[in-house]
Chains A and B, each alone.
Chain A
Amino acid sequence: MADMAASGQTPEVLFWVGCAGSFDQRAQKVTRSFVKILNHLNIKFAVLGKEESCTGDPAKRAGNEFVFQMLALQNIEVLNGYSVKKIVTTCPHCFNILKNEYPSLGGNYEVLHHSTFLQQLIDAGKIKITDTTTFKGKKITYHDSCYLGRANEVYEAPRKVLEELDAELIEMKSCRTKGLCCGAGGAQMFKEDEKGNKRINIERVEQALETNAQIVASACPFCNTMLTDGVKTKDKLNVKVFDIAELLAAGQGLETVDLQ
């Protein structure tokens, strides 16, 4: 972003990478897939890079409003400094907090989750699926992220993205408004579980496995981690967890996904 601003350019959209997308090895791959799609379609985008900080979501949900607002106000200063108008992010937690909780702190932007952003590109006829073999005959089940679904009522966009692929989309027994959490939200990602008789991600993965899908699609880096862990715990090595961006990039021949 700094480079673009220095050369007097204005990006169409700012890609908010998020902490997971920046640092988590699995989520980094999603970041790269999404960027491949953006580049492939010649979309002029920018990232904040070293100027991006955590949005403050886990602190806020854990109850630490101080840390949240410190980060939020810093981020808003940076975003407003670059006169950012439109943001896209691959993380539903960043999406929710940027869209809903930044405005009253002075950060007013059009914020899109990448599922909606990709759906808009599909609707505009810009996405061309070239790989018609990888997904042929495969079953995909989509896991609703709480912060995308219930929190912001984005249920159809990620499904629209998956419908582009030549695969069968199957729903789990809890989906859309009834979607079961992966167990990571509310800063649970960053601590041990409280005492119980099962991990939440195991419960959810069991629902996913019931569908006999080979691919579990997620649209959230934290869901992705939880589901991947769950599938491993269940020893289902033939079931793979992918982000919708990775799958769509593969459909366009920009990426290869290992389904073995």
Chain B
Amino acid sequence: MITILQIVLFTVLCGVAGFLAFKGYRRVYRNIMLGMKANYSDNPSQRLNNMLLVALGQKKMFKNVIPAILHVFIYVGFVITQIELIEIFIDGFTGSHRIIYHAVENIPFLKGFYVFTISFIEVASLFVLFATLAFLTRRWILKVPRLNKPELKGWPIKDATIILLAELYLLTCIFSMNAGDMALHNSEYGFLVSGWLVPLFSGMSNTTIYIVEKLGWWGHMIGVLAFLVYLPYSKHLHILLAFPNTYFGRLTPKGYIANMPEITKEIKSMMNPEPAPATDTPVEAIKFGARDVFDLTWKNLLDAYTCTECGRCSAACPANLTGKKLSPRKIMMDTRDRLEDVGRSIEANNGIWKEDGKSLIENGYISVEELRACTTCNACVEECPVMISPLEIIVQLRRNLVMEESNAPNEWQGMFANMENNGAPWQFSQQDRLNWEKA
């Protein structure tokens, strides 16, 4: 009877979590697809290579060795503990207990492999424990500057801490589960790390140990499901999106900023006015650059959801280093926040977007002052471990400011005029271009 109840409860929990998670991920996908079309179907092998090196292999993380190693501990630990989850799920759906162990317990080689695997997971978990405590220390005690910037105030820093505490919670569950099980069965499983913990149960009744073991098992399982549901609302989504984001990452030199073909058409007809054909889209109908998330490409929006707010970009940004308001991380966070706000508004209006009179520029999102501070130096792009480009968004927003609103500092207006009139950013005559010859 109890077993059937357990199976039902387990199935219901999985079903509810699965449904909530599905809704969460579908929401993220819908929001990303609000962006403009862009084609990334070129060079699949090079893209795959980038994904394997940068996302799977963490290549860009290793520019910063200590956090990279700690991050690898958590990353590897996270992936490896998924193996134990397979058994937890089979046990949950069938009401069995350690079904894989019992299936192989009489085959020495396979039994040995099982024990090795679980012990390996336990050792990996110890590394996770170490790295998690180190990360909490970096964030809250050492106060590493990039993890304590103003744009992280409020929800972002809570989100980061929740994730780290959730790691500690999951580790506690894994070890209570395994060590409890060992204590109940005279350590017959022979798991390495939980074997060391068995003495902690001495003097406890078997019922108490049984409860600890079950709390660990259910706690772990519920923790995993909660994590799955939480993920699409968290910066931690990078653990999944790092893969597509590096696959669709830019392959062109960092200095390249794509030209706008719609403008080429305009200028060619200006330079060569004879045919002057009636164009299908009048210039007024074309929007230059980006004012809102809809004007960015889906890749820019994927960038925003992939960002895990590590702040390597802002720590390298020359404007940010010298006290300017610009922070490339904030560009990504604002883009995602605006996109989330737009998404919520769409949900509130039965799936239809109603103009809210706001945009990504100003309105509490990205300010003009931030946009103007960028030197386009690509330090942020270079630093990002998951190939995000804050610069692409900055340039698109600048284009909108300058070409749609003539919103540029006076010096820039003068520079544009000089470039148009005398082909140089300064007011020199083109006739004097050879003056360098006269020493």
Contact = CB atoms under 8 A, between A and B. Distances in A.
Interface of A: 17, 19, 21-23, 28, 31-32, 47-50, 52-54, 56, 58-67, 69-71, 73-74, 96, 99-101, 104-105, 146-147, 150-153, 177-178, 180-181, 183-200, 202-204
Given A50-B434, A200-B318, A200-B322, A152 B419 contact: no
B343 to A, nearest CB: 27
B260 interface: yes
B423 A23 contact: no
B348 interface: no
Contacts of A100: 252-253, 255-256
B422 to A, nearest CB: 9
Contact of B375 (A54, A73, A185, A196): A185
Contact of A54 (B256, B425, B434): B425
A58 B375 contact: no
A35 to B, nearest CB: 8
B58 to A, nearest CB: 17
A155 to B, nearest CB: 12
A57 B119 CA distance: 59
Interface string B372-403: 11111111011000000000000100111111
Given A22-B424, A200-B322, A28 B436 contact: yes
B354 interface: no
B430 A50 contact: yes
Which of A69, A184, A185, A197 gathers most chain B CB within 10 Å? A69
4 nearest CB pairs, A to B: A151-B255, A63-B398, A53-B423, A197-B323
Residue among A17, A49, A62, A202 having the largest count of chain B Cβ atoms under 10 Å: A62
Nearest to A75: B423
Contact of B409 (A32, A48, A189, A191): A191
Nearest to A57: B425
A50 B431 contact: yes
A23 B426 contact: yes
Contacts of B323: 195-198
Given A23-B424, A191-B411, A61 B377 contact: no
Contacts of B433: 17, 22-23, 48-50, 52
Contact of B399 (A65, A104, A178): A65
B347 interface: no
Contact of A150 (B268, B324, B379, B416): B379
Contact of B318 (A22, A189, A203): A203
Contacts of B264: 69, 73, 105
Nearest to B431: A50
B326 interface: yes
Interface string B212-232: 000000000000000000000
A23 B419 CA distance: 13
* Chain A CB within 10 Å, residue with most, of B373, B378, B419, B437: B419
A195 B403 contact: no
A146 to B, nearest CB: 4
Given A62-B408, A70-B420, A28 B435 contact: yes
Contacts of A67: 416, 419-420
B424 A181 contact: no
Contacts, number: 213
B412 A65 contact: no
**Which secondary structure characterizes the binding site on chain A?**
helix
A53 B288 CA distance: 25
A22 B436 contact: yes
Contacts of B379: 146, 150, 178, 180-181
Given A69-B264, A101-B257, A151-B378, A196 B319 contact: yes
A63 B402 contact: yes
Contacts of B434: 22, 47, 49-50
B195 interface: no
A186 B403 contact: no
Interface in B266-286: 266-268, 270-271
Contacts of A180: 318, 321, 379
Given A67-B420, A203-B321, A73 B268 contact: yes
B263 interface: yes
A198 to B, nearest CB: 4
A14 to B, nearest CB: 14
28 contacts: A22-B434, A22-B436, A23-B428, A23-B433, A32-B436, A49-B434, A52-B433, A53-B423, A59-B415, A61-B395, A62-B412, A63-B289, A63-B408, A66-B267, A69-B267, A71-B423, A96-B256, A146-B378, A150-B381, A150-B382, A151-B253, A178-B316, A186-B374, A190-B425, A191-B409, A191-B415, A192-B409, A197-B323
Contact of A194 (B253, B259, B324, B416): B324
B336 to A, nearest CB: 22
A190 B378 contact: no
Contacts of A153: 253
Interface string B342-380: 000000000000000000000000000100111111110
Contact of A191 (B268, B412, B437): B412
B432 interface: yes
B322 A63 contact: no
Given A22-B436, A96-B256, A186-B376, 19 more contacts: A22-B428, A32-B437, A56-B419, A61-B395, A62-B416, A101-B256, A101-B257, A146-B375, A146-B379, A150-B378, A181-B318, A181-B375, A183-B322, A184-B375, A188-B375, A190-B412, A196-B373, A200-B318, A200-B321
B139 interface: no
A197 B321 CA distance: 9
Contacts of A70: 267, 270, 420
B260 A54 contact: no
B439 interface: yes
B415 A200 contact: no
Nearest to A190: B415
A180 B383 CA distance: 12
B365 to A, nearest CB: 17
B97 interface: no
B254 interface: yes
